[in-house]
């Protein structure tokens, strides 16, 4: 058998002799070199630093040297092998990065899968609960079907009844509204007819409290007589609310306090003790002049009260003198008001919007005890609640009266003022006006 290269004889079964085999490079090795070259080029493009490869080929003779006992040659061979391992590190790093990315992708997909499974489980659980609730609802509805049917019928009947009640109530309100408006329209005409041809001057104010506003006729500044005491009472409770006046504060009566006219304090002994509250009651209930003058002083005097009246917006009301002061009258000083001002005060008091709810209640309590019911309140039933204050000064032909009437048929305010008239004639006409107002209210 001859060698295919040198044609020398070779051992049986071999194609190339040993010398030719050494000279011919391995095809595998050449392919490996080309592969490494291409790989290094790719790594350089990707910015990977390439460490030059150090050949560490070990020949047959070197293999023999490895078996030598000398430690130096063994160390050199080991170093050569370590160098070969370090050269392959960049390639391993790239492979490791790919492996890490692949593992990360797997973990991400695994997480997504877990999330989807959890969502499906929650949906199924919710659907199960919903089904359970639906089943319970169906069972409950089956159990109460008869009851609901009965309730539905009952509710329908109740709605029909409620509608009928609402219609009836609306009709009643409309009727009351018409009657209320007739009270406001008819009474002024009756008043005008009643005072026609009489001596003196008359003015009136009336307010059906179911209506937003009152009406007045011939209102102007007129002599107030004791009607001015309403404004003094208002100022007193204004100061009570402001803690400037104490209702239970005592006062010892002096001889110089006593004045003639209405009231009994003028007959009391000097040194008699009265509280502020008692003096206010006497000023309104008995129209006591002496009590009124003491209250004026306790409130700060005429100027203080006059400033209050002005600040409150009463256009026609003036306090210019004390009660029974004939000297001031001779000098042309007197007290004035109008049906508009009195009507405004009484309306706010009735609505508890004058000073304060508690103060207004106390004032109404005092006015409810007024004793003079001989004028506008003469024909009103005792079943009605009456709050009133009259005023008269016969020397000047003055007869005034104001009242608030409250009852089941309705509530109203009526004020009439007259001056320069005949006393008997004035009182008679006031009684007539009061009776007609009350009868009109009863028709509501």
Q: How far is the C-alpha of 372 from the C-alpha of 370, rounded, in Å?
A: 6
**Is pLDDT of 283 > 60?**
yes
Q: Which residue has the higher pLDDT, 426 or 132?
A: 426
Q: What is the pLDDT of residues 169-190, one digit of tens each?
A: 655 555 444 444 578 889 999 9
For the record, the structure tokens of 201 come out as 């001057």
Q: Which residue has the higher pLDDT, 367 or 146?
A: 367
Q: Which residue has the higher pLDDT, 88 or 335?
A: 335
Q: What is the predicted pLDDT for the residue at 259?
A: 96
**Is pLDDT of 403 > 50?**
yes
Q: Which residue has the higher pLDDT, 47 or 359?
A: 359
Q: How many alpha carbons lie under 13 Å from residue 18 in its C-beta half-sphere?
A: 1
- Quick one: pLDDT band at residue 65, thresholds 50, 70, 90? very low
Q: How far is the C-alpha of 331 from the C-alpha of 326, rounded, in Å?
A: 9
For the record, the structure tokens of 383 come out as 């079943």
Q: What is the pLDDT of residues 408-439, one digit of tens each?
A: 888 999 999 999 999 999 999 999 999 999 99
Residue 359: in which H helix or E strand, if any?
A: helix 357-367
Which three-class secondary structure state does DSSP give residue 182? helix
Q: What is the pLDDT of residues 209-221, one digit of tens each?
A: 999 999 999 999 9
Compute the mean pLDDT over every residue in the chain, rounded to the nearest whole number. 81
Q: What is the pLDDT of residues 220-269, one digit of tens each?
A: 999 999 999 999 999 999 999 999 999 999 999 999 999 999 999 999 99
Q: How far is the C-alpha of 238 from the C-alpha of 345, rounded, in Å?
A: 13
Domains and CATH numbers, the chain: 1-50 (no CATH), 180-442 (3.40.710.10)
Sequence-distant (≥ 6) Cβ neighbours of residue 409 within 8 angstroms = 441, 442, 444
Q: What is the predicted pLDDT for the residue at 61?
A: 45
The residue-averaged pLDDT of 324-351 equals: 96
């Amino acid at each position: 058998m001859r060698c295919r290269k040198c044609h020398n004889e070779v051992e049986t079964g071999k194609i190339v002799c040993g010398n030719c085999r050494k000279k011919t490079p391995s095809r595998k090795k050449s392919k490996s070199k080309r592969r490494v070259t291409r790989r290094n080029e790719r790594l350089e493009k990707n910015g990977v630093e390439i460490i030059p490869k150090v050949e560490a080929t070990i020949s047959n003779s070197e293999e023999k040297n490895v078996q030598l006992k000398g430690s130096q040659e063994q160390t050199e061979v080991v170093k050569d092998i370590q160098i070969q391992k370090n050269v392959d590190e960049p390639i391993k790093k790239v492979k490791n990065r790919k492996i890490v990315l692949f593992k990360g992708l797997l973990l991400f997909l695994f997480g997504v899968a877990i999330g989807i499974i959890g969502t499906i489980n929650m949906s199924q659980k919710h659907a199960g609960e919903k089904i359970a609730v639906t089943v319970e609802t169906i069972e409950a509805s089956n159990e109460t079907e008869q009851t609901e049917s009965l309730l539905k019928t009952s509710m329908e009947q109740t709605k029909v009844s409620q509608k009928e009640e609402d219609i009836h109530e609306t009709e009643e309100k409309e009727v009351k509204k018409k009657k209320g408006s007739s009270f406001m329209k008819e009474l002024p005409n009756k008043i005008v007819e009643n005072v026609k041809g009489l001596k003196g001057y008359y003015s009136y104010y009336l307010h059906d409290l179911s209506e937003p506003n009152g009406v007045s006729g011939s209102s102007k500044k007129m002599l107030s007589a004791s009607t001015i005491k309403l404004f003094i009472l208002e100022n007193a409770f204004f100061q009570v609310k402001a803690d400037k006046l104490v209702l239970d504060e005592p006062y010892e009566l002096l001889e110089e306090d006593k004045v003639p006219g209405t009231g009994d304090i003028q007959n009391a002994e000097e040194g008699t003790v009265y509280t502020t509250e008692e003096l206010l009651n006497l000023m309104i209930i008995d129209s006591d002049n002496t009590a009124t003058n003491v209250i004026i002083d306790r409130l700060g005097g005429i100027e203080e009260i006059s400033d209050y009246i002005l600040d409150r917006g009463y256009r026609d009301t003036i306090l210019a003198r004390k009660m029974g002061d004939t000297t001031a009258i001779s000098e042309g000083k007197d007290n004035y008001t109008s049906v508009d001002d009195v009507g405004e005060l009484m309306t706010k008091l009735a609505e508890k919007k004058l000073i304060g709810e508690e103060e207004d209640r106390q004032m109404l309590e005092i006015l409810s005890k007024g004793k003079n019911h001989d004028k506008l309140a003469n024909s009103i039933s005792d079943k009605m609640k009456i709050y009133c204050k009259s005023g008269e000064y016969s020397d000047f032909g003055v007869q005034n009266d104001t009242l608030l009437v409250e009852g089941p048929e309705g509530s109203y305010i009526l004020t009439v003022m007259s001056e320069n008239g005949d006393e008997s004639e004035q009182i008679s006409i006031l009684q007539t006006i009061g009776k007609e107002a009350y009868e009109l209210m009863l028709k509501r």
